[in-house]
Amino acid sequence: MRTYLRIRDGRTAEVSGEVVREQPLTVSVNGERFLTLLCSPQQLEALIVGYLWMEKVIASPAEVARLDVSVVDGRADVTLTQPVTLPTERILTSGCGGGITFRIDHRLFPRLHSTLRVAPDQVTARMRDLFAAAVHYKASRGIHGAALADAERLLVVAEDVGRHNAVDKVKGEALLRGIPTEDRLLLSTGRVSSEMLLKAARMGVPLVASRTSPTEMAVALAEQLNITVCGYVRGDGMNLYAGGALLLPAAAGAARG
């Protein structure tokens, strides 16, 4: 809890409230310093496992022989079961705080082939579920939430100051708990940028839904990779930017045809 001044209608009052936490976490792999992430200090094992999987450093959690995380020191030491060559061509993403990725070429991702079909009201219901489950967001309003879901329920929920980190945590939790991510929904409270879309592709997720907007590049990638992108998801509707996984009302479907 922190004390701060709230200014409303020309009046100033001293109040106490939650302010979202953010800290650097330096990750070393097999004794080699890999990178430093700016993140929220929750679900850090999931974040590390998810990030290493996303960047193709590992193929499964079974390749992690040991993972030591010190929140106090801001360090994570990962020992793998085999030597690896860490990627070095870093790309500064459009993430909160400036995210880092090493693989952004869409040609590295196969086009998805999924039979998933969901109704718009199922997407809006799962987005409501995400906001209900995002406890840190409700406390501070300064954090992003992400979730893996099927049409009926949330399967994994994660929060972080970085929307990319939140998705990495979702994948990490899914890996650690043995939950497949293919043919699921990926929900986010943040913008769907190109690297967010590619994370979904890497996870085998055919539908990405956001409380806010996608970027033009993300929509173009979604069209190439056969991923459905829904933005501005609200209780009364949403925007459909790409893909065919959403079951449209008959009149809207005819209009689109």
CA neighbor of 171 nearest in space, from 188, 157, 152, 151:
157
Give the pLDDT of residue 104.
53
Reported as a pLDDT band with limits 50, 70 and 90, residue 87 is: confident
Give the pLDDT of residue 6.
84
Domain 120-256 grouped into CATH 3.40.140.10: yes
List of residues 6+ apart from 228 with CB closer than 8 A: 206, 207, 208, 222, 240, 242, 243, 244, 245, 246
Q: What is the pLDDT of residues 178-222, one digit of tens each?
A: 999 999 999 999 999 999 999 999 999 999 999 999 999 999 999
Within 13 Å and on the Cβ side, how many CA atoms surround 152? 0
Distances (CA, A) of 242 to 5, 12, 151, 245: 44, 46, 19, 9
Question: Which of 30-34, 59-63, 91-95 is least confident?
Answer: 91-95
Give the pLDDT of residue 254.
45
pLDDT > 90? residue 18:
no
Cα angle: 64, vertex 66, 70; to 5 degrees: 120
Q: Residues 149-161: what's their mean pLDDT?
A: 97
pLDDT > 80? residue 97:
no
Class of domain 23-104: alpha beta
List of residues 6+ apart from 236 with CB closer than 8 A: 124
Cα end-to-end distance, the chain, whole Å: 53
Q: Which residues in the chain belong to E strands, given as ranges?
A: 2-8, 11-17, 23-29, 32-39, 64-70, 75-80, 91-92, 100-101, 144-149, 154-160, 185-188, 207-210, 228-234, 237-242
Task: Check if the beta carbon of residue 201 is closer than 8 Å to that of residue 218.
Answer: no
Give the pLDDT of residue 255.
44
Helices (H) and strands (E) in the chain, counts: 7, 14
The letter for the amino acid at 85 is T
Task: Name the pTM for this structure.
Answer: 0.87
- Residues belonging to the active site: 96
Q: Residues 48-69: what's their mean pLDDT?
A: 96
Give the pLDDT of residue 47.
97
Q: Provide the residue ranges of all domains of the chain, joining segments of one domain with +.
A: 23-104, 120-256
